[in-house]
Amino acid sequence: MRKVYLFCSIFLATQVALAQEINFEDLSLNPNSYWNGSDNSGGFTSGNIATFPNTFTDWGGGITSWSGFAYSNMLDTITQSFTNEFSCYAGIQTPNSTIFGLSYNSIDWMTGQTLPNNVYFSQPVKIQSIDVTNSTYAALTMLNGDAYSKKFGGASGNDPDWFKLTIIGSKDSIVTGSIEFYLADYRFANNSLDYIVKDWATVDLSSLGIIDMLSFVLNSSDTGMYGMNTPAYFCFDNIKYDLPSNIANYQDFQLKIFPNPAHDYLNFNTTVDAVYIIDLSGRTIKHIQNSASIALQDLEKGIYIIELNVSNKTIRKFFEKL
């Protein structure tokens, strides 16, 4: 991956048009079917504005795999099997919908880190909300366990397990914010409150502001030597957004962060007040103050967020540690 210099800017929205929606109704499927990238197109576009990348691999002998995004209309809520990876646990579509999206996060096998799936918008949007639910495969695996994943709650029902979706917004590679939504949560002292999401749920994303990319990351309490054991799937639909009709773009200052990707050090062209390194599960794993660089030798390879506090401003960006 080549070296790039990233410039930080501040963006303000002055006017916003009426809300629009990406609902996948511009795509087509046969009944009880799915698209998983087997045509090697590398992804799909919906709403004439959002691109959903896909990686499909044919390993030979009838064995294939995919990661990134797919879409489906399958509603089998009973079959707990990898062969049922494209079904929605809600068992119904969202209102006025015939197709929903699927996300499958791949794992960096060197670090065990879940890699983000990124949705790219062809122009800046003011994001509003998204509807999400579990896939049947992930939900039934958490409910019952299998040869690779534990039953949530354990034998006693008291294990504080969880399955979390983190949605990250960014504009020009600057992170605008993140939202956490628990697709399953068994951390309650009262076990009767434990849940695995079955119905479609609307997640408010308005705090992410104006973005040109949405990133989805799944994490679970059930992890092993090679990362998360819980099947890394979730279903989504109805991405609502506004089109800003006039975005005033002004530059308070230029903060260069380089190199990116980085191996030993990440440098800044000015001394910043505070620097935080945050992993994709939201944990702050490193913090320094009053510095023009930060050492990375103690970090595992992978994708991280760097948060910088400078001149009474907070800027968050993705970077890759080699």
Can you give the CATH number for the domain in which 109 is found?
Answer: 2.60.120.1350
* pLDDT for position 18: 56
Tell me the HSE value of 192 on the side-chain side, using a 13 A CA sphere.
0
Query: Is 80 a member of any domain?
Result: yes
Average pLDDT, the chain: 89
Determine the average pLDDT of the residues in 259-269.
90
Determine the average pLDDT of the residues in 23-38.
97
CA dist 39 and 227 (Å) reads: 29
* pLDDT for position 318: 81
Determine the average pLDDT of the residues in 199-215.
96
Please indicate, yes or no, whether residues 53 and 194 belong to a single structural domain of this protein: yes
Determine the average pLDDT of the residues in 31-40.
96
| Residue 202 vs residue 300, higher pLDDT | 202
Task: Determine the structural domain holding residue 45 and report its residue range.
Answer: 10-248
Please indicate, yes or no, whether residues 150 and 35 belong to a single structural domain of this protein: yes
Enter the tokens of residue 276.
């935080």
Please indicate, yes or no, whether residues 88 and 182 belong to a single structural domain of this protein: yes
Place of tokens 């992890």: 223
Please indicate, yes or no, whether residues 56 and 144 belong to a single structural domain of this protein: yes
Determine the average pLDDT of the residues in 269-292.
90
Angle at CA 258, nearest 5°, toward 253 and 259?
160
Task: Say what percent of the chain tops pLDDT 70.
Answer: 91
pLDDT grade for 322, boundaries at 50, 70 and 90: confident
| Residue 17 vs residue 204, higher pLDDT | 204
pTM: 0.80
Does residue 279 surpass a pLDDT of 70? yes
Query: Is 4 a member of any domain?
Result: no
Examine the fold and report which residue of 188, 217, 248 is the final residue of a domain before the chain moves on.
248
* pLDDT for position 6: 39
CA dist 209 and 241 (Å) reads: 10
Q: What is the pLDDT of residues 119-151, one digit of tens each?
A: 999 889 999 999 999 999 999 999 999 999 999
Query: Is 287 a member of any domain?
Result: yes
* pLDDT for position 9: 37
CA dist 4 and 318 (Å) reads: 12
* pLDDT for position 13: 37
Does residue 249 surpass a pLDDT of 60? no
Does residue 251 surpass a pLDDT of 60? no
Please indicate, yes or no, whether residues 142 and 289 belong to a single structural domain of this protein: no
Please indicate, yes or no, whether residues 18 and 167 belong to a single structural domain of this protein: yes
Q: Are 305 and 315 in contact (CB under 8 A)?
A: no
* pLDDT for position 8: 39
* pLDDT for position 254: 61
Q: How many residues does the chain have?
A: 322
Please indicate, yes or no, whether residues 38 and 57 belong to a single structural domain of this protein: yes
Q: Rounded to the nearest 10 degrees, how much is the dihedral formed by the CA atoms of 33, 70, 234, 61?
A: 80
Please indicate, yes or no, whether residues 283 and 142 belong to a single structural domain of this protein: no
Q: What is the pLDDT of residues 1-15, one digit of tens each?
A: 333 333 333 333 334
Determine the average pLDDT of the residues in 45-57.
93
pLDDT grade for 108, boundaries at 50, 70 and 90: confident
Determine the average pLDDT of the residues in 166-195.
95
Angle at CA 186, nearest 5°, toward 185 and 191?
130
Q: How many domains does the chain have?
A: 2
Examine the fold and report which residue of 194, 225, 248 is the final residue of a domain before the chain moves on.
248
